């Protein structure tokens, strides 16, 4: 009996020992680990700065012409603008007090090169010569909607005086004309001169006139196609090579 009990105890102890040795490694309790430091945060590199693209003065001027709200400089009380044309040079002297709104618009247009390469598309002997539709249709399209307020007529449309063209109240934009004679009959229509030709009126007189009023009858097409149309249909027109503030 005692032997049996002792044998049973020994058998149980052996079974426990065998069970402990047969535990799978994955079932062993994991040893304590030293806490690993968090990986350093990745600092995002600043975006690579692109080199600034140089903008030419011509590009800046064109941008202003395409954004009429930028054409807002006040003109000097008196200034001169030199026009170099296919027939020679003439100089316009502007007196701001005569027509402030017109003078300011003219100053900004000349300063930003608007009249460069513009054709004298309406030249009528013993009346006047008109120009001011830009050769670039995009510029013409934009500025044709940028109207300025009328000015009271303080000076008469005498020979050599320069005035904005208009098609009614507050419709002046970019087109101007130079009187070949005393056209005081225009004063009552609200045509307010803002300057006068002080040098080179002989050049103005010599501008090509054989087309007379015919090109002007195509103004919607001129506005839409610019110089491409005028060069094709009216190749003899004289034109402004450049205009600048003196």
CATH number at residue 80: 2.40.100.10
Q: Is 221 within 8 Å of 186 (Cβ atoms)?
A: no
Whether 52 is in a domain gets the answer no
Whether 98 is in a domain gets the answer yes
The strand pairing partners of 93, in sequence order, are: 80, 196
Q: Which range, of 8-12, 50-54, 72-76, 124-128, averages the lowest pLDDT?
A: 8-12
128-131 and 122-124 beta bridge pairing: antiparallel
122-124 and 88-95 beta bridge pairing: unpaired
Q: Which range, of 4-13, 21-30, 72-81, 231-240, averages the lowest pLDDT?
A: 21-30
* DSSP per-residue codes, 60-117: HHHHHHTSGGG--PPPPSEEEEEEEETTEEEEEEEEGGG-HHHHHHHHHHHHTTTTTT
How many structural domains does the chain have? Answer: 1
In the chain, what percentage of residues exceed pLDDT 90?
A: 77
Whether 27 is in a domain gets the answer no
Whether 170 is in a domain gets the answer yes
Given pLDDT bands bounded at 50, 70 and 90, which one contains residue 54?
confident
Whether 57 is in a domain gets the answer no
Question: What pLDDT is stored for residue 218 in this prediction?
Answer: 96
**Which value, to the nearest 10 degrees, does the dihedral of the CA atoms of residues 139, 217, 200, 156 take?**
-100
Q: Is 135 within 8 Å of 65 (Cβ atoms)?
A: no
Q: Quick one: tokens of 197? A: 């030709």
pLDDT averaged over every residue in the chain: 88
Q: Which range, of 25-34, 96-105, 106-115, 122-131, averages the lowest pLDDT?
A: 25-34
Question: What pLDDT is stored for residue 43 in this prediction?
Answer: 60
Question: What pLDDT is stored for residue 8 in this prediction?
Answer: 54
Whether 224 is in a domain gets the answer yes
| Mean pLDDT confidence for 42-54 | 68
| Mean pLDDT confidence for 73-80 | 98
Nearest to 207 by CA among 45, 62, 83: 83
Q: Is 165 within 8 Å of 176 (Cβ atoms)?
A: yes
Whether 42 is in a domain gets the answer no
pLDDT digits (tens, 9 = 90+) for 83-110: 999 999 999 999 999 999 999 999 999 9
| Mean pLDDT confidence for 149-155 | 98
Q: In 3-state terms, what secondary structure has residue 171?
A: coil
pLDDT at 10 over 70: no
Spatial CB neighbours of 61, under 8 Å, sequence gap ≥ 6: 111, 112, 113
Question: What pLDDT is stored for residue 55 in this prediction?
Answer: 82
| Mean pLDDT confidence for 142-152 | 97
pLDDT at 194 over 80: yes
Whether 228 is in a domain gets the answer yes
- Comparing 16 with 152, the larger pLDDT belongs to 152
**Domain of residue 131, residue span:** 62-245
Q: Which range, of 36-45, 98-107, 200-209, averages the lowest pLDDT?
A: 36-45
């Amino acid at each position: 009996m005692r032997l049996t009990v002792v044998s049973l105890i020994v058998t149980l102890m052996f079974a426990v020992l065998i069970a402990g040795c047969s535990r799978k490694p994955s079932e062993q309790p994991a040893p304590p680990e030293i806490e690993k430091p968090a990986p350093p945060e990745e600092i995002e590199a600043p975006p690579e700065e692109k080199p600034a693209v140089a903008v030419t003065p011509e590009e800046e001027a064109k941008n202003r012409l395409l954004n009429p709200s930028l054409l807002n400089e006040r003109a000097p009380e008196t200034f001169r603008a030199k026009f170099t044309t296919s027939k020679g040079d003439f100089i316009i002297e502007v007196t701001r007090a005569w027509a402030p709104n017109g003078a300011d618009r003219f100053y900004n247009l000349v300063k930003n090169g608007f009249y460069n390469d513009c054709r004298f598309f309406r030249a009528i002997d013993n009346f006047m010569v008109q120009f001011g539709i830009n050769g670039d249709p995009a510029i013409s399209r934009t500025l044709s909607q940028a109207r300025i307020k009328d000015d009271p007529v303080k000076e008469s449309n005498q020979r050599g005086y320069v005035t904005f063209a208009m098609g009614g109240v507050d419709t002046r934009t970019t087109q101007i004309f130079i009187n070949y004679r005393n056209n005081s009959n225009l004063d009552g229509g609200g045509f307010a001169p803002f300057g006068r030709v002080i040098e080179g009126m002989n050049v103005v007189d010599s501008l090509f006139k054989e087309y007379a009023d015919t090109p002007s009858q195509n103004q919607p097409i001129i506005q839409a196609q610019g110089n491409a149309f005028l060069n094709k249909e009216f190749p003899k027109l004289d034109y402004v090579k450049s205009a600048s503030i003196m």
